[in-house]
A and B are shown apart, each in its own frame.
Chain A
Amino acid sequence: MVKPKTGVVIGASVLAVIGVVFFVVAAFSSGGGVSCDGKAMRPGDVCLEVAEDGRKTYHTYDEVKAEQEARRPVLLVVLGGFGGLFVLAAGGFLVAGSRENKKDQAQIEAAAAWMRVG
């Protein structure tokens, strides 16, 4: 495989880094325990939710756990999907750049034949 140009490598690296950030965020979001207002919940705790109109709702540990576990796969798919797209784009960028460079190289060598005449 012919090495792509520096600009292509830099562009692909930036895309890949952004993709990896999405993966890392997805990995951190997929694990962990049950939380309420950013704080860890334990069995027996109750989470108080206050709506904008002042209405209060109490959720048990099991309810919060069920809700958060239902949300995690969606978050994982969305963030992982975005990360995958960025990494795929980086790979595509590198392959296309390499192919273009290979074609360029073939043309440069073809021109050498008639450049030598002069």
Chain B
Amino acid sequence: MTLLVESALGLAPDVTVAASMRNLGEHRESYPAVTPKPLLLASGMFAVLFGVLAGGATWGAIVGDPAVWIAAIILWSLATPCLLGFLWVLLRSPAVSKRARQFRVHVFEHGWVWARRSGTEAYRWDEVQALFANLAVFTAEVSSRTPYGIRIAMVDGRRMEIWQVHVDMARFGPLLTARVAQAQLPKAMAYFDKGNPVTFGDLTITDDGVAFQGFLTPWSDIGGVEIDHVDQSYLSLVDPQGEPRGARVNFGLMANGYTFVLMVEAILAKLRGVGR
């Protein structure tokens, strides 16, 4: 087999090849790898804290009471993994590693290519079998942050996990989840239209409504779906007046939650169309 590799857009040849092999279409945009500052800060802070205490205890054991060696050993056993973790993250980050600066997520028309340490792999939106989106908004007086992690299982059995320590997930996360949900919706609807219930985690969409732990909320009582991302993400059904009704599930543990939302909206729109 021969492939024409065009790198006119500045894409690395391995990225272009991977995208061509999966027919991803045109290149749209790229997201560079990021330095995981929260991880560095956390591991560095604990390394310094335990390191200073361990150093003090060691000094105390040498010049003073040898019984302090016990405290020194315990503190060193806590400081060492923190320090090793800090160095491991720092040396592999784009801030220090030239190789890491080459890592990117490239978005194409029909999917994305992730060039990273373990290799360059292409994924199509319509080949994502399960997507778990774990995000929560933490708001403090001075700032707010949104940790964003996505776990994916592909139809060919491949798994991937991407979160804010890899790329700018505030931009890539919503794009990824929206494209995957749009690609999955026709398949889920086709299966549903053949008379099959469709299960998303603890929720099952049936002809009569949405079932949750043996309790059915009929379509007539459902006005939509709400996702609350404050502190931890929860998905709730709401009635036509916007009040919570029936199920409330942990959104981060639910496969294809955004597809569930689109599917409920599509069914509600269809039912409103026929005046049911």
Residues of A whose CB lies within 8 Å of any CB of B are 5, 14, 17-18, 21-22, 25, 29, 35, 37-38, 75, 79, 100, 103-104, 107-108, 110-115, 117-118
Contact = CB atoms under 8 A, between A and B. Distances in A.
A75 B255 CA distance: 48
Given A38-B66, A117-B194, A107 B77 contact: no
Nearest to B71: A25
A107 B187 contact: no
A118 B200 CA distance: 17
A18 to B, nearest CB: 6
A114 B187 contact: yes
Interface string B121-152: 00000100110100000000000000000010
A18 B153 contact: no
Contacts of A21: 73-74, 77
Interface string B68-91: 001001100110010000000000
A103 B199 CA distance: 13
B70 A114 contact: no
B184 A115 contact: yes
Contacts of B153: 104, 108
B255 A113 contact: no
B81 A118 contact: no
Interface residues of B, number: 34
B255 A114 contact: no
Interface of B: 65-67, 70, 73-74, 77-78, 81, 126, 129-130, 132, 151, 153, 155, 161, 184, 186-188, 190-192, 194, 196, 198-201, 253-256
Contacts of B132: 104
Given A107-B201, A113-B191, 20 more contacts: A17-B77, A18-B77, A29-B70, A37-B66, A38-B66, A38-B67, A107-B254, A108-B255, A111-B130, A111-B255, A112-B129, A113-B196, A114-B190, A114-B192, A114-B198, A115-B129, A117-B187, A117-B191, A118-B126, A118-B190
